[in-house]
C-alpha cells in the first residue's frame, strides 16, 4: 500500500512477471495477442478484416470500486472480465461485507427460514464466492488459490487483501464496512448515513476467518482518505465505480428517523450510490495531490437497469450469468470453508429473473458522445476527451495526416463522461460537459452542465479554450440536479448555439445563446417526453443526440422506454418541436444522428434484447421514419458512433462482445464489420478527414488516443491498422487533471 508498493504500474507488472515465471501470460491465454506500437508508427493491416490489439497490458491498470461483493459481476461485466483477461493489473475494492440478514439462502424459500442467521459467516461466504468468480475470469479455474493478508492502507486501520497466486496482478481488497441492510430504508449506520453526516463513524464487521484481527470505526474523511490511498497505490489508468447519479423512483420514500436521511426513493441501492460518492471525493483528493497521471472514470448503472430495456445479447448475458452462478455456489463445489463457498441468494438464478434484469444489461451512466472528434477550420481533425476530470484535446499534425500530436489540456475539473464538441459557423469550437460539485461547508452537492469556448489556435493547430462556464441545469434544486443528463448541442447556421439535456422529470431541458448574446434561461421542450417515470412511456432515457440538416432545421433524437423520440424545427434555427411518432423499435441505449444531403437524417442505435445495430432514416419530403438496414451481429453495448463520409455515405463504429471496436461503411446498406482489436473506454468516434477518408478514433484503456483511417476514400476501402498517438498527458509533460 502507500509507501510499500511498487513505483508504477509498468514496474509492478515486470516484477510480477519475473516473480511468477510467466504465470501471468499463462493465465491470460486466449485473451488475444498483444503488441506495442510506438508513437507515430503504423502496423500494416492484416489480410483478413481483423487487427491485433495495439495496447500493451503493462500500460493499463484498472481499479474497480464496489459496495457489495456481487456488484462488479452484475453491473460491470462484461468489462470487468475483459480487463481481468487482458493481463493488465486489476484491483477490485469492496467497501462493505454485504452481510445482509446473515442467512445464506434465497429469500422467500423454506430454506431461508431454517438457516441460522450468522452475518460474519455469510460475509465470508460472499467473499469466497467472489474469489471463485474472479479466479474463473482470470484463469478459467474457480478453485484458484488466493493468498490473504491484512494490510495497512491508512494509519491505524487494516483491510483484507487477496492476491490470486496464478495471476498476482489481480487483487481484491475488502474494507469490511457494515452495509445498509436495506435498499432504501434510511439507516444512520450505513455508507449513506456516514456521507450525509447522520453518523459520525461507521463500524466494520469482520468476516469469519478474515486476516484482519479486529474491527474498526471509520469517519467519513477516513473512508475518503482510504480510497485516495488505494488510488495512490494502484495508480490506475481506468477507475470504475457504481452510479453516483441514481434516478428517483415514483414510490414514496420511507420515513426517515433523522432529517438528514430524508429524501427521495431511488431505483438503485443506497450503498451503491454512496460508494460512488465516496469514490468521487477520493478522486478529487487524489487528483488534487498533483502526483498522479490522469485516469479515465466510468460509472455503471445498478438496479435501474431492471427498469430499462435489456441491452446485451443472449450470448453475453449467458457468459455473465455463468460467472454469477460460480459466485452463487450453484456448482456446489467444495472450498473447505464451513462458512460457505458462495452467495446462495444469487446462485442458480442469475439468468432466470424478470424479463428485464441486471444480468441482461450493462449500462454506463455517461452514455458517450457522438461528437468528440470534429474537423477544425483548416481541415485538421481534433479529438477531445476527459482524463483525470479535465478536458484534453489532440489535433492532427496536418490535414489528412492521420497523425495526432501530444494531448493539450483544455481545462475543467471533475468533468464526467465524454465531451460534446460543436463547431460554430466561424470554425471555432465550443465544448460541453457535465461535472459534479462535491459538498462542502458552503457548497451543495450538485451536478451542473458546463461549457468552454475556443479563444485561439496554436501554431501546431491545437485549439486553445477559455474558462469553463457553468450552464446550471434544467432543475436548479441541488438534489434534482444530480439526475441531469449529459448534454448534446448544435450550432444553427446563424451562429446560435442550442444545448439539450435530460431533465429530472424525464423531459428535455433546453437553453440557447445567440452569437454575441447571453444564454437564455432553461426551458423544457414540448412533449412527447413530458413528465413520467422510467416505467411510464414515453420517458426519455439518457443518450440523446442532435444535428442540423442541410436546410438549417434542428433535429433532436432520444431513446425512451419503448421507442425513439424525435423533435425537429419547423423553420431553420427554431427550437425543435415534437415530431410525429417514429414507430421505431425499442432502443437498448443511446441514439446517434447524422444529417446527409437532401434533407435526409439517419440514426443508428442498438435494438433492445438483441444489441443489433439498426439504421433508420427520415426523408424531409416524407417526414416519417423507417428502419432501412441492420448490421451484422457483433454484440456489445452502448452508443454507436455515426458520421457522414461524403454524399450519402456514412461510417459507423461500435463496441462488440469482446470489448473491441467494430467499424463499417454504410450507404443504402452497411458493409461487413471490420474488427479493430482495441480495448477502449466510452464510445469510439468517427469522422471524415480532409481527403474524404473515414477516420476511427478511440480512447484506449491506457489513456492514449488511437486512430485508424481508410487507405483511400470510398465505400469499400479497408481501414489501416491502429496508430497510437503521442503519449498520455503525464508522459508528455501535460499538467495533471
Place of cell 462458512: 339
Cell of 481: 440536479
CB-based contact 674:686 (threshold 8 Å): no
Q: Provide, for the chain, the percentages of residues in helix, strand and coil under a 3-state DSSP scheme, each rounded to the nearest 5.
A: 20, 30, 50
CB-based contact 121:103 (threshold 8 Å): no
3-state secondary structure of 282: helix
The chain-wide mean pLDDT, for the chain, equals 89
Phi, psi of 234 (to 5 degrees): -80, -35
DSSP H helices in 566-626: none
Question: What pLDDT does residue 347 have?
Answer: 78
Contacts of 300 (CB under 8 A, 6+ apart): 75, 76, 240, 241, 242, 243, 362, 363, 364, 365
Phi, psi of 172 (to 5 degrees): -125, 140
pLDDT for residue 516 is more than 70: yes
Confidence tier at 726 by pLDDT (50, 70, 90): low
Average pLDDT for residues 434-462, to the nearest whole number? 96
Kindly provide the residue ranges of all beta strands, DSSP E only, lying in 672-724, ordered along the sequence: 674-676, 680-688, 694-700, 705-709, 723-724
Distance between CA atoms of residues 657 and 241, nearest Å: 21
Question: What pLDDT does residue 3 have?
Answer: 38
Helix (H) or strand (E) holding 66: strand 61-66
| Tens-digit pLDDT profile for residues 475-488 | 999 999 999 999 99
Q: Would strands 170-177 and 89-96 be described as parallel, antiparallel, or unpaired?
A: parallel
3-state secondary structure of 52: coil
What sign has the CA pseudo-torsion 352, 354, 356, 362?
negative
Confidence tier at 2 by pLDDT (50, 70, 90): very low
398-430: b (≥16 Cβ within 10 Å) or e: eebbbbbbbbbbbbbbbbbbbbbbbbbeeebbb
Largest CA distance in the chain: 75
Task: List the one residue out of 523, 479, 526 whose CA is nearest residue 504.
Answer: 479
Question: What pLDDT does residue 117 have?
Answer: 95
Count CB-CB contacts under 10 A for residue 438: 16
Q: Would strands 159-164 and 170-177 be described as parallel, antiparallel, or unpaired?
A: antiparallel
Confidence tier at 227 by pLDDT (50, 70, 90): very high
pLDDT for residue 349 is more than 80: no
What sign has the CA pseudo-torsion 18, 20, 25, 28?
negative
Average pLDDT for residues 215-225, to the nearest whole number? 98
Strand partners, 443: 440
Distance between CA atoms of residues 117 and 130, nearest Å: 20
Question: What pLDDT does residue 723 have?
Answer: 93
Contacts of 293 (CB under 8 A, 6+ apart): 235, 237, 388, 703, 728, 729, 730, 731, 736
CB-based contact 449:472 (threshold 8 Å): yes
Confidence tier at 356 by pLDDT (50, 70, 90): low
Question: What pLDDT does residue 621 have?
Answer: 76
The helix/strand count (H/E) of the chain reads as: 11, 38
pLDDT for residue 253 is more than 70: yes
| Tens-digit pLDDT profile for residues 177-218 | 999 999 999 999 999 999 999 999 999 999 999 999 999 999
Task: List the one residue out of 532, 537, 632, 553 whose CA is nearest residue 587.
Answer: 537
Distance between CA atoms of residues 544 and 556, nearest Å: 7
Kindly provide the residue ranges of all beta strands, DSSP E only, lying in 551-637, ordered along the sequence: 554-559, 564-568, 577-578, 592-596, 600-606, 613-618, 625-630
Helix (H) or strand (E) holding 233: helix 220-234
| Tens-digit pLDDT profile for residues 519-544 | 999 999 998 744 344 454 448 999 99
Question: What pLDDT does residue 352 have?
Answer: 67
Question: What pLDDT does residue 110 have?
Answer: 87
Task: List the one residue out of 58, 186, 68 whose CA is nearest residue 123.
Answer: 68
Question: What pLDDT does residue 527 have?
Answer: 85
Place of cell 515465471: 21
pLDDT for residue 33 is more than 50: no
3-state secondary structure of 560: strand
Question: What pLDDT does residue 625 have?
Answer: 96
Confidence tier at 55 by pLDDT (50, 70, 90): confident
Average pLDDT for residues 493-511, to the nearest whole number? 96
What sign has the CA pseudo-torsion 546, 710, 386, 634?
positive
Contacts of 63 (CB under 8 A, 6+ apart): 90, 91, 92, 93, 230, 231, 234, 236, 238, 239, 240
What sign has the CA pseudo-torsion 600, 605, 608, 613?
positive
Confidence tier at 685 by pLDDT (50, 70, 90): very high
Domains of the chain as residue ranges with CATH: 67-108+119-248+269-353 (3.40.50), 373-724 (2.120.10.10)
Question: What pLDDT does residue 34 have?
Answer: 22
In percent, the amount of the chain with pLDDT more than 70 equals 89
More confident site: 600 or 725: 600
Average pLDDT for residues 161-190, to the nearest whole number? 97
Distance between CA atoms of residues 66 and 305, nearest Å: 16
Contacts of 116 (CB under 8 A, 6+ apart): 103
Contacts of 246 (CB under 8 A, 6+ apart): 266, 267, 268, 272, 273, 302, 304, 483
> How long a stretch of residues is the chain?
737
3-state secondary structure of 545: strand
CB-based contact 501:449 (threshold 8 Å): yes
Confidence tier at 293 by pLDDT (50, 70, 90): confident
3-state secondary structure of 474: coil
CB-based contact 118:209 (threshold 8 Å): no
In percent, the amount of the chain with pLDDT more than 90 equals 82
Count CB-CB contacts under 10 A for residue 379: 14
| Tens-digit pLDDT profile for residues 620-657 | 878 899 999 999 999 999 999 999 998 889 999 999 99
Tell me, letter by letter, the H, E, C secondary structure of 105-140: CCCCCHHHHHCCCCHHHHHHHHHHHHHHHHHHHHHC
Phi, psi of 524 (to 5 degrees): -100, 140
| Tens-digit pLDDT profile for residues 34-48 | 222 222 333 333 333
Half-sphere exposure of 180 (CA within 13 A, CB side): 25
Task: List the one residue out of 500, 478, 595, 588 whose CA is nearest residue 545.
Answer: 500
Q: Which of 126-130, 221-225, 354-358, 430-434 is predicted least confidently? A: 354-358
Residue 303 is classified by DSSP as G
Count CB-CB contacts under 10 A for residue 522: 18
Amino acid at each position: 500500500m502507500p509507501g510499500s508498493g511498487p513505483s508504477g504500474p509498468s514496474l509492478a507488472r515486470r516484477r510480477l512477471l519475473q516473480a511468477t515465471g510467466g504465470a501471468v501470460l499463462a493465465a491470460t491465454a486466449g485473451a488475444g495477442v498483444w503488441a506495442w506500437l510506438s508513437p507515430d508508427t503504423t502496423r500494416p493491416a492484416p489480410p483478413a478484416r481483423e487487427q491485433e490489439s495495439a495496447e500493451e497490458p503493462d500500460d493499463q491498470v484498472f481499479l474497480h470500486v464496489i459496495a457489495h461483493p456481487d456488484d462488479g459481476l452484475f453491473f460491470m461485466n462484461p468489462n470487468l472480465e475483459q480487463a481481468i483477461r487482458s493481463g493488465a493489473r486489476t484491483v477490485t475494492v469492496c467497501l462493505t461485507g454485504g452481510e445482509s440478514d446473515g442467512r445464506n439462502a434465497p429469500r422467500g424459500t423454506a430454506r431461508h427460514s431454517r438457516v441460522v442467521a450468522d452475518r460474519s459467516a455469510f460475509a465470508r461466504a460472499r467473499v469466497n464466492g467472489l474469489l471463485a468468480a474472479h479466479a474463473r475470469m482470470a484463469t478459467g479455474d474457480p478453485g484458484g488459490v488466493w493468498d490473504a493478508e491484512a494490510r495497512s492502507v491508512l494509519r491505524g486501520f487494516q483491510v483484507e487483501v487477496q492476491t490470486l497466486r496464478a495471476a498476482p496482478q489481480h487483487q481484491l481488497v475488502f474494507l469490511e464496512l457494515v452495509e445498509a441492510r436495506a435498499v432504501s430504508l434510511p439507516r444512520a449506520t450505513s455508507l449513506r448515513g456516514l456521507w450525509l453526516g447522520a453518523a459520525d463513524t461507521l463500524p466494520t464487521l469482520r468476516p469469519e476467518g478474515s486476516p484482519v484481527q479486529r474491527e474498526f470505526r471509520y469517519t467519513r474523511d477516513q473512508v475518503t482518505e482510504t480510497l485516495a490511498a488505494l488510488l495512490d497505490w494502484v495508480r490506475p489508468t481506468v477507475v470504475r465505480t457504481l452510479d453516483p447519479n441514481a434516478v428517483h423512483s415514483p414510490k414514496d420514500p420511507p420515513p426517515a428517523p433523522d432529517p438528514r436521511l430524508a429524501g427521495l426513493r431511488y431505483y438503485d441501492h443506497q450503498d451503491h450510490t454512496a460508494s460512488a460518492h465516496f469514490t468521487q471525493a477520493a478522486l478529487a483528493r487524489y487528483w488534487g495531490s498533483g502526483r498522479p497521471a490522469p485516469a479515465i472514470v466510468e460509472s455503471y448503472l445498478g438496479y435501474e437497469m431492471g427498469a430499462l430495456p435489456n441491452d446485451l445479447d443472449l450470448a453475453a448475458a449467458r457468459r455473465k450469468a455463468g460467472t454469477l452462478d460460480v459466485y452463487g455456489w450453484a456448482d456446489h463445489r467444495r472450498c473447505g470453508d464451513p462458512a460457505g463457498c458462495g452467495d446462495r441468494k444469487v446462485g442458480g438464478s442469475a439468468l432466470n429473473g424478470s424479463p428485464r434484469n441486471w444480468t441482461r444489461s450493462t449500462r454506463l451512466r455517461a452514455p458517450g458522445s457522438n461528437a468528440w472528434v470534429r474537423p477544425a477550420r483548416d481541415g485538421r481533425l481534433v479529438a477531445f476527451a476527459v482524463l483525470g476530470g479535465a478536458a484534453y484535446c489532440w489535433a492532427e499534425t496536418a490535414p489528412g495526416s492521420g497523425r495526432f500530436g501530444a494531448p493539450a489540456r483544455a481545462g475543467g475539473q471533475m468533468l464526467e463522461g465524454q465531451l460534446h464538441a460543436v463547431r460554430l459557423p466561424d470554425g471555432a469550437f465550443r465544448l460541453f460537459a457535465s461535472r459534479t460539485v462535491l459538498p462542502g461547508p458552503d457548497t451543495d452537492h450538485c451536478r451542473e452542465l458546463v461549457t468552454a469556448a475556443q479563444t485561439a489556435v496554436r501554431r501546431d493547430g491545437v485549439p486553445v479554450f477559455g474558462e469553463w462556464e457553468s450552464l446550471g441545469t434544467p432543475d436548479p434544486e441541488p438534489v434534482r440536479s444530480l439526475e441531469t443528463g449529459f448534454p448534446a448541442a448544435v450550432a444553427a447556421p446563424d451562429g446560435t448555439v442550442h444545448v439539450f439535456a435530460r431533465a429530472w422529470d424525464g423531459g428535455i431541458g433546453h437553453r440557447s445563446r445567440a452569437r454575441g448574446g447571453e444564454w437564455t434561461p432553461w426551458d423544457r421542450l414540448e412533449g412527447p417526453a413530458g413528465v413520467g417515470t422510467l416505467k411510464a412511456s414515453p420517458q426519455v432515457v439518457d443518450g440523446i443526440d442532435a444535428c442540423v440538416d442541410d436546410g438549417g432545421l434542428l433535429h433532436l433524437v432520444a431513446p425512451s422506454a419503448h421507442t425513439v423520440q424525435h423533435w425537429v424545427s419547423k423553420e431553420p434555427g427554431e427550437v425543435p418541436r415534437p415530431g410525429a411518432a417514429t414507430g421505431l423499435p425499442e432502443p437498448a441505449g443511446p441514439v446517434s444522428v447524422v444529417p446527409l444531403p437532401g434533407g435526409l437524417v439517419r440514426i443508428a442505435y442498438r435494438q433492445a434484447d438483441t444489441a443489433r445495430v439498426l439504421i433508420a432514416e427520415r426523408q424531409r419530403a416524407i417526414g416519417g421514419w423507417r428502419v432501412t438496414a441492420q448490421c451484422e451481429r457483433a454484440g456489445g453495448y452502448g452508443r454507436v458512433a455515426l458520421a457522414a463520409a461524403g454524399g450519402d455515405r456514412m461510417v459507423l463504429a461500435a463496441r462488440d462482445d469482446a470489448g473491441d471496436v467494430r467499424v463499417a461503411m454504410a450507404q443504402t446498406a452497411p458493409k461487413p464489420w471490420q474488427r479493430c482489436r482495441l480495448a477502449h473506454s466510452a464510445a469510439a468516434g468517427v469522422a471524415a478527414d480532409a481527403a474524404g477518408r473515414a477516420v476511427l478514433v478511440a480512447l484506449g484503456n491506457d489513456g492514449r488516443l488511437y486512430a485508424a483511417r481508410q487507405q483511400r476514400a470510398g465505400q469499400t476501402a479497408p481501414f489501416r491498422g491502429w496508430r497510437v498517438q503521442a503519449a498520455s498527458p503525464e508522459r508528455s509533460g501535460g499538467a495533471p487533471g
